[in-house]
Amino acid sequence: MCGLLTLLAAAGDAPESAAAVSDAMGCSMHRGPDEGGAWHDDDIAFGFRRLSIIDVEHSHQPMRWGPADDPGRYTVVFNGEIYNYPELRAELTRQRGARFATDGDTEVLVAAYHHWGAAVVERLRGMFAFLIWDSRERGLFGARDPFGIKPLFYAEGPAGIAFASEKKSLLALAPELGLAADGGDLDDAALQYYLTLQYVPEPATLHRAIRRIESGTRFTVRPGGEVDQERYFRPVLHGGTGSGPAVHERLAGVLRDSVAVHMRADVPVGAFLSGGIDSTAIVALARRHNPDLITFTAGFERAAYSEVDVAAETAAALGVRHVVRTVSAQEMMDALPLIVWYLDDPVADPALVPLWFVAREAARHVKVVLSGEGADELFGGYTIYGEPASLAPFERLPGTVRALLGRMSARLPDGLRGKDLLRRGGLPLEQRYYGNARVFRPDQLATVLRRHDPDRPISEVTGPHYRDSAEWDPVSRMQHVDLFTWLRGDILVKADKMTMANSLELRVPFLDPEVFAFASGLPLAEKLAHGTTKYALRRALDGIVPPHVLHRRKLGFPVPIRHWLRAEMYDWARAVVADSGAGHLIDLTAVGRMLDAHRTGPVDHSRRLWAVLVFLLWHGIFVEHRIRPTVPDASSVRPSDSGSR
């Protein structure tokens, strides 16, 4: 797990930018505190920071590799893990006569590219963002994993193009690219989508000049040329896995295999543990490979917002050592500016705050943790997936009647029971569902966003995914939208950013190609059945996870911001709004009124307030440069039993 930065010069002057690339890598120190590396030729300059997980004494990057007749042909930088690298290595040795000088996955990756070309990405089982420079062909090849577990930003300017694991690195490198030193204009559309979704959807960022390589995409680019991108992974979520006990048994086997390969590491591996079935399943299966597994959870002092007791009961039942981190409102306020700095772009998911704290605690014990992200999207775990069934009576009404009901709902007061059901029932799926998070509605957005554009509907984000799944059942279509929006925009961003902020690698066994291949074929009855979600997964895990977890609703890391913004965090929030210089973008007076209305109740504005507050902090850090978080030395949080690598 690492951080990379690469500048491909447009005019053969990369050596002149090598020092700037090295300096900009300072923004990635937390991603790779163990060692750094750099390399350049006339066209390209690489920078790298390494968190050593596999083959810790070797596999240094940037790595130069080539066949016997051209040993320095390729240079690679790679962030992530290839879990099936032993199998790929054996195949390359047996069938291609490949020879290897290291025991790591980086060398296997570049050798596989040499023999299989761009098709290599379809052979990889892992999480990755990598760049390979071919000095003979003078071309750069790169790719990002199918689900977007590992990030990859890029920026193009008159002087060249740069790729990075951290957006901050590209902001630091902007002058070398011929871009504005502050990253240039903010993207109004991205801001509007952020306030709707609580994250900036791919491929955008809030800086117009900086974009993201999308998940499941590979690309090529030559000096002075444009990035030629191609999607290699197109998920299909309906098909013929079947149903019944035999299917559940096969699913259990697929999960056992995925956890087994995700345990491959030369350093200690732990796991996050909440009170839900997903993380419990990962821990139960990982425990079979490591009886000394350590688990970690975060909680709060408010009982309704903590899974600490359930997680502790689960840990005891599974026989694993358990570590708890309790987070206070004051700690949350103190840490939030630094957390936003690590995020690169705002993500208004309060759960990322306890995740940051529990990752910091875990990094004192291990270098790698397993986690349960992805199970809900693949197996039908969100309660909202039951909405098509509950709204089925509306589907039988004529379109004009449904539209009338939707218009009638707009006249009802906020908070009135049934208002939202009536509103959503009056809309077709493509208009009512745009992902798991819904923060500001268009009418609400117009009251706070000064540059609100009513002709910029959220369907610009979700429309392509609905078109790709037009023939599927409604639940599969919702899952498909979530894979491309909620999962990669919120869930995986916070997972990567909050763990890597603490020099900790997070692995997600549910987001494995073999697991997805199985889950993608499950019929609706194996997702939602008998009043429960993730039906097939629960049946597969019967006898693997403790009974008190098997049918329990997952809470994750719930955060009591609704209460805190009325009490402990009210004055802090008032100060964030009052000090902000983003008044040309956000109506700060309107936000102040919203905060007061939330404090006195009964309307709950907490999610909308949190989205605005996080953006105001982000603006203060990255645009105004008024807020300057103190970034800790990455070496201050290290696994106590693994030492320096």
Please spell the DSSP secondary structure of 94-121, one letter per residue. Answer: HHH----SSSSHHHHHHHHHHHHGGGGG
State yes or no: pLDDT of 546 exceeds 60: yes
Active-site residue 2, yes or no? yes
Q: Nearest-CA neighbor of 341 among 627, 34, 633?
A: 627
> Is the pLDDT confidence value at 68 over 50?
yes
- Mean of the pLDDT values across residues 393-415? 79
What pLDDT was estimated at residue 640?
39
CA distance 134 to 572: 52
Query: Residue 291 and residue 47: Cα distance in Å, rounded?
Result: 38
Of 50-54, 169-173, 600-604, the one with minimum mean pLDDT is 600-604
Q: What percent of the chain has pLDDT over 70?
A: 96
DSSP state of 214: P
Which residues, including other chains, have CB under 8 Å from residue 153's CB and lie 6 or more apart? Answer: 163, 164, 165, 166, 167, 169, 170, 205, 210, 211, 212, 213, 344
Q: Which pair of structure tokens corresponds to residue 235?
A: 């998920």
Higher pLDDT, 604 or 633: 604
pLDDT of residue 635: 59
| Residue-level pLDDT at 579 | 98
Which comes out higher in pLDDT, residue 400 or 529? 529
Hey, which residues does 505 pair with through a beta bridge? 368
Comparing 60-64, 203-207, 297-301, 516-520, which segment has the lowest mean pLDDT? 297-301
What average pLDDT does range 212-220 have in this prediction?
98
Structure confidence at residue 639 (pLDDT): 42
Mean pLDDT of 298-308: 77
Q: Is the pLDDT of residue 641 over 50?
A: no
Contact criterion met (CB below 8 Å) for 127 and 149: yes
Spell out a b/e string for 501-537, using b for 16 or more CB atoms within 10 Å of the CB, else e. Answer: bbbbbbbbbbbbbebbebbbbbbbebbbbeebbbbbb
**What is the model's pTM?**
0.95
Q: Is the predicted pLDDT of residue 642 greater than 60, yes or no? A: no
Which residues have C-beta within 8 Å of that of residue 54, sequence separation ≥ 6? 81, 85, 103, 104, 105, 264, 265, 266
Q: What pLDDT, in 10s, does the model give residues 417-469?
A: 777 788 888 888 998 899 888 899 888 999 999 999 999 999 999 999 999 99
- Could you give the domains of the chain? 2-231 (3.60.20.10), 245-380+492-550 (3.40.50.620), 383-457 (no CATH)
| pLDDT score recorded for residue 404 | 85
Q: Are strands 294-299 and 269-272 parallel, antiparallel or unpaired?
A: parallel
- Mean pLDDT value of segment 256-262: 98
Highest mean pLDDT of the ranges 305-314, 533-542, 554-563: 533-542
100 has a pLDDT exceeding 60: yes
Catalytic residue among 1, 2, 255, 524: 2
DSSP 8-state class, residue 17:
G
Query: Phi, psi (5° rounding) for residue 212?
Result: -120, 135
DSSP string, 224-267: TS--EEEE-------S----SHHHHHHHHHHHHHHHHHHT--SS
* Tokens 């939208």, located at residue: 481
Work out the average pLDDT over 316-336.
95
Q: If we measure between CA atoms, which residue out of 288, 263, 261, 285 comes closest to residue 273?
A: 285
Alpha carbons 570 and 597: distance in angstroms, whole number: 12
* pLDDT of the residue at 643: 30
DSSP type of residue 309: H
Tens of pLDDT, residue by residue over 101-124, are 999 999 999 999 999 999 999 999
Query: Which residues pair with residue 325 across a beta bridge?
Result: 298
The per-residue pLDDT for 240 is: 72
As a whole number, the mean pLDDT across the chain is: 93
First to last CA, the chain: 13
Average pLDDT over residues 591-606: 95
pLDDT mean over 369-382: 96
Which tokens is 455 given? 């002709």
Which residue is associated with the tokens 């509605």?
441
Counting every residue written for the chain, the total comes to 645
Find the mean pLDDT for residues 84-91: 97
Residues 504 and 362 sit within 8 Å (Cβ to Cβ): yes
